[in-house]
Amino acid sequence: MTTLRLTVNIRATKQRVWEIVTHPERYPAFVRDVQDVTVLQRSQSVALARWRIRHDGVEFQWTEQCHYDVEQARITFHAVRGDFASYDGSLALEHAGPGVALTLNATMDWGLPSFGKVIAPVVEQRVRRAFTMMLVAIKRYAERHRVARTYAFVIHPLDLELIRVAFREPNIAAPRKELLSKTFEWLPPFKCSDIVGLQSLDGHEVDGALIYCPLLPEQMVANGGAMALRKTIEAINVAESLGVHIVGLGAYAAQIGRKGVLAAEAVRVPVTTGTSYTVAMAIQGIETACRAVGVPLSRLKVGIVGATGGVGSTCAELLAPRAGALVLNARNQTRLDELTVTLKARAPSVEVLPTAELDWLVANADIIITATSTPGALLDARALRPGTIVCDVSRPRNVSPQSVEDAHGSVLVFDGGVVKPPGDVDFDFCFGLPPGLAYACMAETMILALSERYEGYSIGGNISAPKVEEIARLGDALGFRLAALRWCEREVPTETVEIVREHLRNRAAVVWV
């Protein structure tokens, strides 16, 4: 019996190495000892393959059945016939530093119980050498054909449920939350996955990485964000060690430290928060929703919760000439009044209604944009007027998901800034969206990477209507598109659109053209 455990580190993404090892029929082109691999049958999870290898002038043949576990990036195999009495094992991938570790575990029985004791040391040495050469060949092939990793994005968990799903830990919520929170404080940031498949319309392709900052929303905002800032800088340092040229910040990582300014000042790589493209996609989402329900935006009042923030104020500036009226809500009355004066100066014909009372906005707005840094629900969908459209830009969400379900389609609520990047993008990690979709803040980093514009595009207060329009044009030219309107992991039902359309038609305040 020969037992092997071999590991090789590969500076390539897990997805690309996985694509190589799940297609062994290509091995003869780059693995010297492999003469032929014929795939006799293949499904998504199982394959039957016949191998023929030659090592030191001796040929071996066997047929093996492979089982593919995509989620765990693991192949288990078992020889069903061939030159071995038995041959079983596994091939597994896991993230390791800037790349991945590829590990082969195998046991072989040559069917020579007595003589095997004599030849075992010699045979094991030869077999170990042969399989080591195969792993090294895979490593060289993967590294030779890798795509440049030019960007990274820092994420953090929005809730315990998302942690449970992302790390496939069904019992994650069993311990006390305070114990888990403390554990997150101890845990350093790390690369949780690679991002592959991003390809612009002209064929330009770049890879990226997701960096995990292990703090929950309440921890991110605790003590003025001091711990979160330190952890965010550490996360950016992890990204720098991967050799990327630009780093994006998501959710609360983009809000602390003067909205990314302090983090950017502490590192060498350019940092962006994605705010500009988030604004662009929020407005596109509003326009898409209006078209879906058949109501012109120019006939509706748009309410903005968190109106004096970067996202809210820029949305207000861009919507002022398009909306029927603006209802602005914020806690700071002075800043709210200043924004009102600015908007009236730029768009004299628009009606601007400032209020510090959220209930007043809810009672008077036809469309609501939520863009706050409050870690929790501010709006109850059941309290909204039937027919109201809500674009929830905030993460965590500002609208209670359960209340939307309880509203039974009487309001149209959707997540703001959900984007379909060009190419066949694979994040290899669950952060709250279906495979292939990204948040607009992520997409801004991707756009800048594809455009080779390595700069702090959206940082601090450096947000303006011209910058929003510019990044929207860049994204459109590269092939980035607003995804279908979605809420909490599923598309907004057609039935909801029809119900909201009918409510709006019956609303006396709406003037139809």
pLDDT in tens, 265-276: 999 999 999 999
The most confident of the ranges 92-101, 141-150, 419-428, 498-507 is 419-428
Q: Which residues contact 475 (CB under 8 A, 6 or more apart)?
A: 277, 280, 419, 443, 444, 447
pLDDT value at residue 512: 44
Alpha-carbon span 254 to 241, nearest angstrom = 20
Predicted confidence (pLDDT) per residue in 52-108, tens digit? 998 888 888 999 999 999 989 999 999 999 988 899 999 999 998 888 999 999 998
**All domains of the chain, ordered by start, with CATH?**
2-144 (3.30.530.20), 149-276+444-469 (no CATH), 277-419+486-506 (3.40.50.720)
Q: What torsion, rounded to 10 degrees, do the Cα atoms 470, 473, 474, 478 define?
A: 170
pLDDT value at residue 121: 67
Pairing of strands 46-55, 58-69: antiparallel
pTM of the complete model: 0.86
Q: What is the mean pLDDT of the chain?
A: 91
Predicted confidence (pLDDT) per residue in 279-289, tens digit? 999 999 999 99
Alpha-carbon span 277 to 417, nearest angstrom = 8
Is the pLDDT at 179 greater than 90? The verdict is no
pLDDT value at residue 120: 61
Mean pLDDT of 17-34: 94
Nearest residue to 52 (alpha-carbon basis) of 37, 32, 31: 37
Is the pLDDT at 352 greater than 70? The verdict is yes
Alpha-carbon span 19 to 29, nearest angstrom = 15
